[in-house]
Amino acid sequence: MKVPKEKIQIAGRDIKILYDRKRCRQEMYNGVCFPDSSEIILDENLEIEKKNVVFLHEVLHHINSILDKGETDVDKEEYIKPFSELLYQVIKQII
């Protein structure tokens, strides 16, 4: 799997991919998503496997936002974290 360097499109929207370890540490996460500004910020120092999972995790948050599923059980960390890990396991097998 290859995490895009600059952007990804979700539902026709350009989502900027930024790499900023300091910002992630301020937020106390390995990655964060900001649906209102169409940004995903990742810690650039993560190992590749971890970066891939974190990227998928933040993409799932964006998808939930687009589907207007924020603040439901589907958008909670307890759901998104294992879902992104399992999704990555599947993706690795098919690409």
Q: What angle do CA 52, 53, 59 make, to 5 degrees?
A: 90
Domain contains 1 = no
Q: Is the pLDDT of residue 69 over 80?
A: no
CATH number at 89 reads 3.30.2010
Q: What pLDDT is recorded for position 27? A: 83
Strands 31-34 and 13-19: unpaired
48 vs 69, residue with greater confidence: 48
Domain contains 15 = yes
Q: Is the pLDDT of residue 74 over 90?
A: no
Domain contains 49 = yes
Domain contains 37 = yes
In the block, residue with structure tokens 């300091």 = 22
CA distances from 59 to 32, 80, 83, 89 (A): 10, 10, 11, 16
Domain contains 64 = yes
pLDDT digits (tens, 9 = 90+) for 23-64: 999 888 999 999 999 999 999 999 999 999 999 999 999 998
Domain count for the chain, please give it.
1
The partner residues of 8 in beta bridges, in order of sequence, read 15
Distance between first and last Cα of the chain: 7
Q: What pLDDT is recorded for position 86? A: 96
